[in-house]
Copies of this chain bind each other. A is one copy, B any other.
């Protein structure tokens, strides 16, 4: 299986558009403009990119960024072998070579100093200098760079530098609207619509607590967890406690507020 085939998204991911984001992304891709997707945890950013890669028929290479990630982890390094060293492309280099969409997930987790290696790929040069190999790699015509970014984490310590931000077009994401979110729960787990709406209403309570004791609201992903457990015959109150309360907070007041909403909803 070639590198390129390995990274193709073969089955259509389940994705429910929220606005005009599909057409706008296609326009950005046509010009190969770098794209930044912004929004809270678990609102569907990664799935949107996966869906677009499938729709465009382009390979997708995802990198979960972290603070230990070095430029070599992105670009590549020499490996020692029986007869000397062998160069191994990193995921960014592979993407630039084969013409993939390279998706750097949670970019703010990476040190901003590492991130500068993407700069020459995101301006008119569209080149990746492999300094350690002494090679100047021009990006494949299909290559595009995409990053995700959670503005809720934005802080003085962990924000993108202006010289990085100004290389991207951006898409703002948020949790889906209530009707759409209930529809997602039903389609992903088989839960009936009335139950799904009840779960979505609990999510709405939690999201109003953001900034008042919760760092983030409850994500669509956690609502899907609860729906799956209920669909498997777990008591809705147990399912909600396991999936919507216990993971997100240990604060007694916030827990009481959430448990109260759950009890009222599933009385």
Contact = CB atoms under 8 A, between A and B. Distances in A.
Nearest to A133: B88
B171 A246 contact: yes
Q: A-side binding surface: helix, strand, loop or mixed?
A: mixed
Nearest to A70: B68
Contact of A84 (B71, B81, B106): B81
B36 A247 contact: yes
What range describes how many residues of A lie at the interface?
Answer: 35 or more
Nearest to A82: B84
A253 interface: no
| Complex copy number for this chain | 6
A56 interface: no
B166 A114 contact: no
Contacts of A116: 64-66, 106, 109
Contacts of A242: 24, 28, 169-171
A179 interface: no
A54 interface: no
Contact of A68 (B27, B71, B161): B71
B229 A166 contact: no
Given A88-B132, A91-B129, 4 more contacts: A7-B136, A33-B229, A66-B114, A91-B131
Instruction: Report the 9 A-B pairs with minimum CB-CB distance, sorted nearest first.
Output: A170-B246, A67-B113, A82-B84, A162-B216, A81-B84, A41-B163, A170-B247, A66-B113, A151-B250
